[in-house]
Amino acid sequence: MTDAESNPLLIQFRSVSKIYGSGVAAVHAMNNVDLTIEDGEFVAIMGPSGSGKSTAMNILGCLDTPTSGDYLFKGIEVGRLPRNQRALIRRHLLGFVFQGFNLLARTTALENVELPLIYRGLPVAERQKLAARALDRVGLSGRGHHTSAELSGGQQQRVAIARAIVTDPEVLLADEPTGNLDTKTSREIMDLVTSLNQDQRMTVVMVTHETDIAAYARRIIRFVDGRIDSDVRNQQAA
């Protein structure tokens, strides 16, 4: 039996610490954090600036590595993998959504969604088919040939979500996904994210500073001073 088969948890931090700098200038961004996330969960991570929530997300997304402790993904210790292997995990198992959309401005919605598939080396016809299907999943089936300038903020974020899910990742990592949106559009985006979690069983980990956005998650973790201050189940989540 492999490590992955013997460990049912999707994500696990074991005494994870992250220190930037050294000596008197050292910053303890995370301090001996223990955390587990099961397959299919919807978790919101909150906390003030400098609390460690963004560092936690960077480690979860294989964009950074712990200074000490273990980060296990599907039972495999990935925190110490070389950069190229962590890049493979990002490419095949994780999807990312950011506050700023990060779309290519002069490129169509369909072409933006195709980008992760280009990195995988898929042929054009297959890329276009999968990208169109992803746009349909986020309610933009008729907008594939529109550029970012021709789309509203909410539509741009839907394109960004389509790009994140076009590879069918195991985890969707969302960093302030509604930060640039108005209240009505924010609700629409969060309804979409909730649907991906509930209907398609996609694990979602989301950083937000807004309590009304965090309320969509079924579990809310709050970081303070590099540690988990609270970890509660949200009984009010849909």
- What φ, ψ does residue 135 adopt, rounded to 5°? -65, -40
For 176: left if phi > 0, alpha if psi spans -120 to 50, otherwise beta; the answer is left
CATH number of 39-66+80-233: 3.40.50.300
Q: Express each pLDDT in 42-84 by its tens digit.
A: 999 999 999 999 999 999 999 999 999 999 999 989 988 999 9
pTM: predicted TM-score of the whole model, two decimal places = 0.91
Three-state SS at 214: helix
Instruction: Find out whether 82 and 158 touch, Cβ atoms under 8 Å.
Output: no
**Quick one: CA torsion of 118, 120, 125, 127, rounded to 10 degrees?**
-70
Describe the strand order of the beta sheet including 11-20 as a list of residue ranges.
27-37, 11-20, 68-73, 76-77
Q: Which phi and psi (to 5°) does residue 17 adopt?
A: -125, 150
Return per-residue pLDDT of the chain as tens, 238 residues. Answer: 444 444 468 999 999 999 999 888 899 999 999 999 999 999 999 999 999 999 999 999 999 999 999 999 999 899 889 999 999 999 889 999 988 888 888 899 999 999 999 888 899 999 999 999 999 999 998 889 999 889 999 999 999 999 999 999 999 999 999 988 999 999 999 999 999 999 989 999 999 999 999 999 999 999 999 999 999 998 776 5
| Residue boundaries of the structural domains of the chain | 39-66+80-233
Instruction: Tell me which residue of 54, 122, 58, 107 sits closest to 86, measured CA to CA.
Output: 58
